Structures are given as C-alpha cells and as structure tokens.
C-alpha cells in the first residue's frame, strides 16, 4: 500500500472527495466532486473505483476518521467521526 507522507501535498479536491465518500458512501462518477482527488485516493488505496462507482476502502474509512475536520463548514463529518 502506498503511504501518504505527511509533507506530501494532496491534490486540490482530495479532502472534498474523502468527505463525500465518508458521509454519503458510494458515489457515481458523474457526481464525484473531483476526479483528480478520487484518483489520488485510489492510488493510495484509500478508495476503489469500479464500474463507475467510487467508494472508500477500510483504510480510507480509518483515514477519514483521523483527518482534522473541525474547521470544515460541514460539521456532519466531525459528528460522524465521533461515532466511530
């Protein structure tokens, strides 16, 4: 598995895709907020992309629960993290 290095800059939109997949589950390509962000998550084994659908892997769910999202406008993510 490819590791996300602390100093490595994630492409724009990656956190938005992580949030989208974490909160709403499998998402069709036409509704994904950033294909570049999705591809980054797939390349790092945090998401899968099959038959036009993107979804988090178990590693992606674990990663999503560790991301600091307190400054995000959508507090639903923070609330869901608290349940895990």
pLDDT in tens, 66-84: 876 555 666 666 666 655 5
Residue 4 lies inside a defined structural domain of this protein? no
> Which uninterrupted H or E stretch holds 3?
none
Residue 63 lies inside a defined structural domain of this protein? yes
Residue from 23, 9, 34, 5 nearest 61 by CA: 23
Range of the domain at 70: 14-81
CB–CB of 40/64 below 8 Å? Answer: no
Residue 25 lies inside a defined structural domain of this protein? yes
* Structure confidence by residue, pLDDT tens digits, 13-63: 999 999 899 989 999 999 999 999 999 999 999 999 999 999 999 999 999
Rounded Cα–Cα distance for residues 62 and 51 (Å): 24
- What residues pair up with 48 in beta bridges, in sequence order? 55
pTM of the model: 0.78
Residue 74 lies inside a defined structural domain of this protein? yes
Residue 33 lies inside a defined structural domain of this protein? yes
Residue 76 lies inside a defined structural domain of this protein? yes
User: How many structural domains does the chain have?
Assistant: 1
What is the predicted pLDDT for the residue at 7?
46
CB–CB of 76/23 below 8 Å? Answer: yes
């Amino acid at each position: 598995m490819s590791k996300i290095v602390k100093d490595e800059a994630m492409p724009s939109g990656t956190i938005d895709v992580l949030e989208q997949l974490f909160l709403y589950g499998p998402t069709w390509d036409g509704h994904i907020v950033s294909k570049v962000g999705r591809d980054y998550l797939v390349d790092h084994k945090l998401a899968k992309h099959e038959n036009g659908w993107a979804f988090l892997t178990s590693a992606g769910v674990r990663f999503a629960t560790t991301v600091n999202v307190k400054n995000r406008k959508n507090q639903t993510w923070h609330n869901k993290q608290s349940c895990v």
